[in-house]
Structure 1
Amino acid sequence: MIRRIVPLLVVVAASAASPAVAQTRHNSAAPIDFSAGYIELQDKANRAILSGNVNVRQAEMTLTAARMTVNYTGQVVDGSPQVSRMDASGGVTVTRPDQRARSQYAVYDLNRRIITMLGGVSLVQGSNTVNGGRLTINLDTGRATIDGSAAGGTVKAPDGTVTRSGGRVTGRFSVPERRQ
């Protein structure tokens, strides 16, 4: 029924130089498949609620979460509602062939083409790991930033709960073996 769900995340590569790094663009034109234990369509509110081991896949990217709210504009193009925002919660994981990002919440604003992951963010590529409070990704530019504390040390999730995320961006970068 909801066929044009756009990608939830373009995961970024870690960089020793800066917590802001660039990544190649994700193919947002690829079809999206989803599965969930339950879907509730709320047509008057222009949204759908997916719950129970939600799995969204597009091209080589996969997102899993306990729950996802998909908001749409009410306009239908080629038989599909026009999605404007998606909110994922509960152990959110986004994977691509060589990368994995985890958080408690993820928000994708399709109009701005910005993805924000909140609460205990962990980004892993190979043996490199970066941890922080918030990961923000601009899908147009591929630029992503990780900061240590979102909104002054607290994060208000889409469900209204507030979590504490404090401090600094931490991580570990592997160093390539150098031949003498």
Structure 2
Amino acid sequence: MIRRIAPLPIGLALALAAAAPAFAQTRHNSSAPIDFASDRIELQDRANRVLLTGNVKITQAEMTLTAARMTVAYTGQITNGSPQVSRLDASGGVTVARPDQTARSQYAVYDLNRRVITMVGGVTLRQGANNVSGGRLSIDLDTGRATIDGSGVRGGTTPGEPGVQNSGGRVTGRFSVPKREGQ
């Protein structure tokens, strides 16, 4: 179902444009090495994947991804002695952090071939005092565009509070307003 939304007032449209896409403003180096740490690792070589569990932390360039559990899928191709990682599937309190910005959800998929991170389940995107919550967040690491939609998630009772599963979802948030002269 596609919902039509009335045009936003110019001020609000500018605030939205400044806040949501800011998560990925600088181009991420998705070719940088991926460092990992976890409590346990299980190599499933025949399935071309690695299962990381317990306090998982993945770092690539200036981005950090943490979760309770993560599956790292790789191709059979070996380059410079290493398999080519193609996808990371994370679950359980997922956090993606870059300098000055943090996104949280229950699940996330980082598709390294497409250079896109998709987060679902009680998504919250924060930058400073600004925050936006919804059901699904898509971050295109090449273009710097971040998109949040309701995706069957109803916002919390407080603006910017993580949502709960429900149909007819909405995106909620709060943008800080700089203090103006005379106030």
State the alpha-carbon separation in 1 of the partners of residues 34 and 69 from structure 2: 17
The alignment's TM-score, normalised by the length of structure 2, stands at 0.78
Shift of 1:141: 0.8
Equivalent position to 1:81, from 63, 74, 83: 83
Q: Is the 8 A contact 1:148 1:165 kept in 2?
A: no
| Residues 1-180 of structure 1 mapped to structure 2, 5 A cutoff | 16-18=15-17, 21=21, 23-149=25-151, 153=152, 164-166=165-167, 167-180=169-182
State the alpha-carbon separation in 2 of the partners of residues 17 and 125 from structure 1: 12
Letter in 1 for 2:62: E
Letter in 1 for 2:165: R
Q: 1:101 to 1:119 in 2, by over 3 A?
A: same
Q: 1:30 to 1:39 in 2, by over 3 A?
A: same
Identity of aligned residues (%): 74
Shift of 1:44: 0.5
Q: Is the 8 A contact 1:119 1:165 kept in 2?
A: no
Shift of 1:165: 4.8
Shift of 1:83: 1.0
Shift of 1:179: 1.5
SS at match of 2:46: helix
Letter in 1 for 2:35: D
Q: CA-to-partner distance for each residue in 1:128-164, whole Å, 9 max, x for gaps? A: 0100000001122111100011xxx27xxxxxxxx93
The alignment's TM-score, normalised by the length of structure 1, stands at 0.79
Shift of 1:56: 1.0
Q: CA-to-partner distance for each residue in 1:86-131, whole Å, 9 max, x for gaps? A: 1000000111221111000000112222110000000111000100
Q: CA-to-partner distance for each residue in 1:56-96, whole Å, 9 max, x for gaps? A: 12232211100000111111100110111110000001112
Unaligned runs of 5+ in 2: 1-13, 154-163
Q: Is the 8 A contact 1:107 1:116 kept in 2?
A: yes
Who is 2:156 aligned against?
A: none
Letter in 1 for 2:16: A
Output the aligned Cα RMSD: 1.9
Structure with bigger RCO (C-alpha 8 Å, 6+ apart) = 1
Number of equivalent positions: 155
SS at match of 1:24: coil
State the alpha-carbon separation in 2 of the partners of residues 36 and 55 from structure 1: 6
Q: Is the 8 A contact 2:67 2:95 kept in 1?
A: yes
> Which structure is higher in helix share?
2
Unaligned runs of 5+ in 1: 1-14, 155-162
Shift of 1:33: 1.6
SS at match of 2:16: coil
State the alpha-carbon separation in 1 of the partners of residues 112 and 59 from structure 2: 16
Q: Computing the radius of gyration over CA atoms, which structure comes out larger, 1 or 2?
A: 2
